[in-house]
Amino acid sequence: MSPTAEAPFGLLAELTHRCPLQCGYCSNPIELVKRDAELSTEDWMRVFDQARALGALQIHMSGGEPLGRRDLPELVEHANSLGTYVNLVTSGVGLTRERLRDLAKRGVDHVQLSLQDATREGNDRIAGIKAFDRKIEAAAHIRDEGLPLTVNTVLHRQNLDNVAGLIAMAEEMGAERLELANTQYYGWALRNRAVLLPTKEQLARADAVVEAAQERLRGKIEIVYVIADYHEAHPKPCMYGWGARQLTVAPNGDVLPCPAATVITSLKIENVQNSSLHDIWYHSESFNAYRGFEWMSDPCRSCPRKEIDFGGCRCQAFQLTGDAANTDPVCSLSPNRQTVDLILDTEMRPAVEPAMAMRKISQ
């Protein structure tokens, strides 16, 4: 057993990679799990049983779009029967009043609704389909059912100047929580990095707007702001440490220490079809690879910030340096910081402004 591992707090259950949206910032893998390779209803119920036995208190049903699973009501009901807090993470497309009412009766405790921009034109352009009106309707259904609502927006160069409008939309939708998370450059998002990277000036303006809103809405709406760390001197505290609080199960049953861990091609990924969640969480090579601090070398090992940012993101380190054990290159102390500076210099000043490559996912 890993000496540094405590029981996970939550399970992110990626029920499917199928999705009606075509977002160019999607961080799911380039090679998505096909429908015929998804876990069955019985498999997912077994995963939920094992997660609860392991100590997980929350099950976040995500994707893709979890509404694409016909067995979603049964999965919600089973998760609820285990005493877990059930969170539905959705685009809102297909979330009718009747469907939400049924899911609420079966045990959905909370809904997290994505919003791509503050206006119909901007939202639908970024989402790749006409989805804005359906999101507004979904928010009204959630409010009518009395369920807590989190609005989630992935921020990037295309919508960051509208952050004040996004905050206003969350207020109008009746959200108790707003997540403003700058794009993570994995999967499809990495392909579009040159279109998505915000400028330092954009971020400075957004920081001020968010800070003012956090103060104004304190006690009414919790605003969580995930920084765009390419421009920062220190990396973000990714997942609060590797394999520390949460585990992810992909649609095919792969168990991941973080949702993007498949980008680390040198990592041996375990699957729930072959091992229990208990054994994977405590004993697997993948979950123990970067737990705690023993794996670190300098400058991380001797850095007082190692208990704040945990060396940064392992996936980002692998993508930018080829070694997941390296200090995250966004850190100003990293010997590879010039890699990030070069990206900022070249991709923020392209000779020709690239177009967004939309992600079209078959249903």
Let me know if residue 344 belongs to a domain: yes
Let me know if residue 3 belongs to a domain: no
Q: Place 1 in a pLDDT band, splitting at 50, 70 and 90.
A: very low
Let me know if residue 292 belongs to a domain: yes
Dihedral angle, C-alpha 260, 265, 266, 271, nearest 10 °: 70
CATH, residue 209: 3.20.20.70
Give the tens place of pLDDT for each residue, 139-181.
Answer: 999 999 999 999 999 999 999 999 999 999 999 999 999 999 9
Total of domains in the chain: 1
C-alpha to C-alpha distance for 209 and 116, rounded to whole angstroms:
18
Q: What is the pTM of this model?
A: 0.95
Q: Which domain holds residue 337?
A: 8-362
pLDDT of residue 238: 80
Residues comprising the binding site for [4Fe-4S] cluster?
19, 23, 26
Specify the range with the lowest mean pLDDT, choosing from 1-5, 12-16, 140-144, 333-337. Answer: 1-5
Let me know if residue 2 belongs to a domain: no
Residues comprising the binding site?
19, 23, 26
Let me know if residue 40 belongs to a domain: yes
Let me know if residue 1 belongs to a domain: no
Let me know if residue 228 belongs to a domain: yes
| Amino acid residing at 179 | E
Give the tens place of pLDDT for each residue, 82-112.
Answer: 999 999 999 999 999 999 999 999 999 999 9
Let me know if residue 192 belongs to a domain: yes
Q: Is the dihedral of CA 69, 70, 76, 82 positive or negative?
A: negative
Residue 182 phi, psi (nearest 5) = -65, 145
